[in-house]
Amino acid sequence: MRSLTAGVAKKKSAKSSTGSAVKLPIVCDADMLRSLVRKKEVRVVDVRKVDDYNMDHIPTAVSLPLARVLENDTPDKIVDIIEELGISDKTPVVVYDDTFGALAARVAWTFQYVGHFNTALLEMTFKQWKELGLETEKQARTFPRAKHSLNINKEIYADASYVEAVKSQPGKMLIDSRERLNFLTEHIPGAKNIPYTMVGSNGSILRKPEELKRFIENRGIADNAEIITYCGSVGTLSGLTYYALKLAGFQNVKLYPKSFKEWKALGKPKEEFKDATYWDLSAE
Amino acid sequence: MRKSRVATDNPRQKGVSPPKPHPKWGREEETDVFAKKVKLFRQGKISEDDFRRFRLQHGAYGSRLHMEYSMVRIKVPGGEMTPDQIEKIAGLSEGFSIGSAHVSTRQNIQLHWVQLEDVSEVMRGLVETGLTTREACGNTVRNVMCSHFAGVCPNEQFDSTPYSMAIAKFFLRNPMCQNLPRKFKINFACCDQHGLVRVADIGLVPATREENGKTTRGFKIYLGGGLGAASFIGHLLEDFTPEDRVLSTCMATVRLFDRHGNRENMARNRMRYLVHETGWEKFQKMALKERSIVEMTTSHSTGQLFDVKSQEDTRQLPKAPRMTKLPVLNDQVTKESPAFERWLHTNVVPQKQDGYFTVFITLGAGDITASQLRVLASAIRDYSAEGVARNTPQQNFAVRYVRGTELRDFYEKLASAGLANPGALTIASVVGCSGTTSCNLAITNSHRLAKEVQRKFLELGLDTDDFLRDATIKISGCPNSCGQHEIATIGFFGGASRVNNSMTPTYTMLFGGSAGEQGELAKTAMRVPAKRVIDTVLKVIELYKQQRSGNESLHQWVVNVTKGQGTADIKNLEGLKAALAQVVQLPTPDQDPDSYRDYGSDSSFSAKTARGECAA
């Protein structure tokens, strides 16, 4: 196990000597996080189950299981949770999970939605962190309650009526993040498929920006397109795609967090493909 | 650390050094070109026909009734794959396909339902490990096959693998075969038993000749065979073709086809029709004459491009430890036998190299998940002394050079990923093309049917019955023969018929086909509704058991019946048809509507097809 000694991460240390908090990138690498942890300049948020958190976690991380976010999915309640975790408007936040980044993405997006812009995803999962021999701790952490303002970022949110209104407008595009066979079975009319499996790579929850850019470019999607992502139920897979698109340089990306589950429950139209028995190709 | 369970004389020599380098079939620049062409096509700057030809030349088929998607066919000469390549395919299948890959009947690996815009990314990933999709489809020399036993087969004269690789390399991107009248298939065997040499445009069986006390290597070369809506068995060109005439013979054949093949009638433009219409004796003379011209006019430097030596595996593989106790390969097993013994009996064969065994991985109609591919790759690294595997035309994998002392460990590793099913070398290894799961031409879901037959057979333990072992079942979803139904003991091809006034998925059943150098085509018997196929096959087995004489195997009995040399009550095909008349009957649609539907479908059946792309 590597120790938290100065020097290991000096190359990429986050400069904050002036006292202003560091501005995080979309994805935070391990060295940067370790440096921030060492300097106590970051709030690390572990979104795995509480039991997993209690076994071990990244040093100084607080526990916020995704389920708790989903149970309290209104801006007021989220801000209350943020304050409880000791996160002020200025605290940089790094979120991680053990589910290829999808759960972390949904939580990070939620923080950004209520106005905590300085939130990043850790580049890797907790399992990969441990495989690299990076430090962990068992001790559950709490911090003094902080004050956080509520500043809803409507630009990154879409609901069913918004999706329905814009889904066929030029310059706007709906992206389904589910796996190919689920997409073929049924999806929101006009949606294109970028499976979540396409945006990750070995050792990192998201591929390199240039690769992601090339994927998008191959598909002929314009740089200035507005893109809305959705997935099967609660916006986790599509949360990851949301960040993949941000990483690829798209400015205008929205998440439809209630996703296809709500869409179906509302009885909205679906596109289905019934002319092939593609499920029978799966070796599962 | 693993422990060998059988005492050995030698400690294990782990791994091979150096590992086999990747062949360099793929080229990165082709991936960029493909991505550009897709964009131009989407912008309407190239016509659909031009784009289709280009796409097929680069190994991407249109998917069933949904041209937004492609089936990407990875060309794997001889079926030989390194662990790195297998892992790469696992990742690509997860990222861009459906999380499973598919072994074809011609040693290709297929990724289905890839979005057209992502095909270039799949190609880019493949190039990283030396693989290509180039000329896997279209009117080109397709994947060059080589018996998965070549190099380890106890009956072979010599290892044909380097020859097959050299031929594959020579024709890949060769200007002489970029626009043939139609596709062109070359298959190498190891011996007279293993290999699809009589059902290829060119089939080659290794042979040797003694001359002045010297042994010359060469081949018995068969021309003009092939399976399809109309199938033909290839003809022997001459008694013996020495190795230094292999290239000129292949070049001459390709040139003849290029010049004389039918470019008008797509339904009859494979070379087998040319041979048939020309007449074999005349075609044979043409081929021999063309070969002389090729030999007189081919430059030395062109000849050098066919480089067998450079394709030889010169690594010294370690000797396998001598075992004090042999695995129970030849003992009788039953359904109740321990799973490991049943697997040994039905999936493992000894090699000509002492102490080494070839192990087969039973797949369901060639499907394998990404996580299974990763376990397979790791197992090859740990247990195969040659460090590679081959995929087989029976849609399985063969892992060779496994030490007898490590078979149990290997088995357990495979079993951990669901890859240790028995039956790979038995009647339970059922072949099925992709059918309606992805193919534009398919009428029925042959793919699922093959998996259902396999599942039923394994459940019944039919893989443990050695009298059934050499029989094969192969299923195609339409009359075109991707499922190779005409070389099966019991073959099926899909169609649609009206039964009791309802459109019903049906299969035409054929009997008595076989592969190998003495291969014969199966004979058509009767139509069977899709949902009656399993019971019908079981009935055939029941009849065989009642009627067989002596130690006759199921395959021998079926072949004898098709030749009118059957036994007792079932003398010939008519007798067999009569005995099956009852079992193929369906209840009325009111009694059982499901029996009128195809596998994998919960709605009533209708035959939907679109334009095939085999010929472009």
Residues A118 and A177 both lie in one domain: no
How many domains are contained in chain A? 2
Q: Could you tell me the sign of the dihedral formed by the alpha carbons of B433, B438, B441, B445, in that order? A: positive
Residues A34 and A146 both lie in one domain: yes
H helices of B513-572, in order, are 533-547, 554-562
Neighboring chain B residues of A203 at a CB cutoff of 8 Å: none
Domain with CATH 3.30.413.10 in chain B: 145-310, 432-596
Q: Report CA-CA distances (Å) from A19 to A26, A32, A86, A193, B34.
A: 21, 17, 18, 44, 51
Tens-of-pLDDT digits for all 284 residues of chain A?
444 444 444 444 444 444 578 999 999 999 999 999 999 999 999 999 999 999 999 999 999 999 999 999 999 999 999 999 999 999 999 999 999 999 999 999 999 999 999 999 999 999 999 999 999 999 999 999 999 999 999 999 999 999 999 888 999 999 999 999 999 999 999 999 999 999 998 789 999 999 999 999 898 889 899 999 999 999 999 999 999 999 999 999 999 999 999 999 999 999 999 999 999 998 87
Contact A275 B64 (CB under 8 A): yes
Residues A198 and A209 both lie in one domain: yes
> In this complex, is the C-beta atom of B445 within 8 Å of any C-beta atom belonging to chain A?
yes
The predicted pLDDT at position B203 comes to: 98
Contact B434 A215 (CB under 8 A): no
Residues A14 and A143 both lie in one domain: yes
Among candidate residues A152, A187, A213, the one where a domain is terminated: A152
Can you tell me the distance from the alpha carbon of B156 to that of B207, in angstroms, rounded to the nearest whole number?
A: 8
- Optimal mutation site among A280, A282, A284, interface B, most CBs of chain B within 10 A: A280
The predicted pLDDT at position B328 comes to: 63
Could you tell me which chain A residue has the CA closest to the CA of B63?
A276
Contact B100 A180 (CB under 8 A): no
Q: Could you tell me the sign of the dihedral formed by the alpha carbons of A212, A216, A217, A223, in that order? A: negative
Could you tell me which chain B residue has the CA closest to the CA of A182?
B98
Neighbours of A171 (CB within 10 A): 10
Could you tell me which chain A residue has the CA closest to the CA of B440?
A276
Residues A205 and A261 both lie in one domain: yes
The predicted pLDDT at position A1 comes to: 42
- Tell me: pLDDT of B421 over 60: yes
Can you tell me the distance from the alpha carbon of A277 to that of A38, in angstroms, rounded to the nearest whole number?
A: 54
Neighboring chain A residues of B100 at a CB cutoff of 8 Å: 281-284
Tell me the HSE value of B483 on the side-chain side, using a 13 A CA sphere. 40
Q: Is residue A173 part of a domain?
A: yes
- Tell me: pLDDT of B614 over 70: no
Mean pLDDT of B480-493: 96
Q: Is residue A53 part of a domain?
A: yes
The predicted pLDDT at position A11 comes to: 42
Instruction: Give per-residue pLDDT as tens, B425-461.
Output: 999 999 999 999 999 999 999 999 999 999 999 999 9
Residues A37 and A90 both lie in one domain: yes
Residues A111 and A191 both lie in one domain: no
Domain span at residue A120? 10-152
- Tell me: pLDDT of B474 over 60: yes
Contact A279 B600 (CB under 8 A): yes
B189 touches B197 (CB < 8 A): yes
Q: Is residue A96 part of a domain?
A: yes
Contact A281 B438 (CB under 8 A): yes
Instruction: Give per-residue pLDDT as tens, B16-58.
Output: 557 888 889 999 999 999 999 999 999 999 999 999 999 999 9
Of B65, B98, B372, which is closest to A281 when you measure between CB atoms? B98
In 3-state terms, chain A is what percent helix, strand and coil (to 5)? 35, 15, 50
Question: At a CB cut-off of 8 Å and minimum separation 6, what does B394 contact?
Answer: B105, B424, B429, B431, B472
Neighboring chain B residues of A273 at a CB cutoff of 8 Å: 66
- Tell me: pLDDT of B234 over 90: yes
Neighbours of B395 (CB within 10 A): 27
Q: Is residue A197 part of a domain?
A: yes
The pLDDT mean for chain B works out to 94
Residues facing A110 on adjacent strands? none
DSSP-derived secondary structure for A92-120: -EEEE-SSTTHHHHHHHHHHHHTT---EE
Q: What is the CATH code of the structural domain delimited by B145-310?
A: 3.30.413.10
Residues A128 and A184 both lie in one domain: no
CATH classification at residue A186: 3.40.250.10
Among candidate residues A107, A131, A152, the one where a domain is terminated: A152
A–B CB contacts, 8 A cutoff, strictly below: 97
The predicted pLDDT at position B324 comes to: 56
Of A219, A277, A282, which is closest to B436 when you measure between CB atoms? A277
Contact B98 A215 (CB under 8 A): no
Q: For residues B119-149, b (16+ Cβ closer than 10 Å) or e, as one string? A: bbbbbbbbbebbbbbbbbbbbbbbbbbbbbb
Q: Is residue A222 part of a domain?
A: yes
B28-128 under CATH 3.90.480.20, yes or no? yes
- Tell me: pLDDT of B14 over 90: no
B517 touches B544 (CB < 8 A): no
Contact B118 A198 (CB under 8 A): yes
Share of chain A above pLDDT 90, in %: 87
Residues A138 and A172 both lie in one domain: no
Contact A284 B445 (CB under 8 A): no
User: Which residue shows structure tokens 């050299």?
Assistant: B166
> In this complex, is the C-beta atom of B45 within 8 Å of any C-beta atom belonging to chain A?
no
Domain with CATH 3.90.480.20 in chain B: 28-128
Closest Cα in chain A, distance from residue B97 (Å): 7
User: Which residue shows structure tokens 């899709």?
Assistant: B530
Instruction: Give per-residue pLDDT as tens, B145-200.
Output: 999 999 999 999 999 999 999 999 999 999 999 999 999 999 999 999 999 999 99
Closest Cα in chain A, distance from residue B64 (Å): 7
Among candidate residues A126, A152, A178, the one where a domain is terminated: A152
The predicted pLDDT at position B10 comes to: 42
> In this complex, is the C-beta atom of B39 within 8 Å of any C-beta atom belonging to chain A?
yes
The predicted pLDDT at position A284 comes to: 74
Contact B437 A277 (CB under 8 A): yes
Could you tell me which chain B residue has the CA closest to the CA of A214?
B121
- Tell me: pLDDT of B5 over 90: no
The predicted pLDDT at position B109 comes to: 98
Instruction: Give per-residue pLDDT as tens, B239-280.
Output: 999 999 999 999 999 999 999 999 988 888 999 999 999 999
Q: Report CA-CA distances (Å) from B601 to A276, A281, B37, B590, B595.
A: 9, 14, 36, 18, 11
The predicted pLDDT at position B265 comes to: 87
How sure is the predictor about B11, in pLDDT bands with cuts at 50, 70 and 90? very low
Residues A53 and A38 both lie in one domain: yes
Q: Is residue A4 part of a domain?
A: no
Of A214, A218, A283, which is closest to B372 when you measure between CB atoms? A283
Q: Is residue A250 part of a domain?
A: yes
Q: Which CATH architecture has domain B432-596?
A: 2-Layer Sandwich (3.30)
Can you tell me the distance from the alpha carbon of B415 to that of B424, in angstroms, rounded to the nearest whole number?
A: 14
Neighboring chain B residues of A275 at a CB cutoff of 8 Å: 64-66, 608
B 582-611: CB under 8 A from A: 598-601, 603, 608
Question: At a CB cut-off of 8 Å and minimum separation 6, what does B385 contact?
Answer: B16, B317, B318, B320, B356, B401, B402, B403
B 277-336: CB under 8 A from A: none
Residues A138 and A161 both lie in one domain: no
Residues A21 and A45 both lie in one domain: yes
B 74-113: CB under 8 A from A: 91, 94-100, 102, 112-113
Whole-structure pTM over 0.90, yes or no? yes
Q: What is the ipTM of this complex?
A: 0.92
Closest Cα in chain B, distance from residue A276 (Å): 5
B 364-423: CB under 8 A from A: 364, 367-369, 372
Of B96, B99, B445, which is closest to A280 when you measure between CB atoms? B445
Q: Is residue A2 part of a domain?
A: no
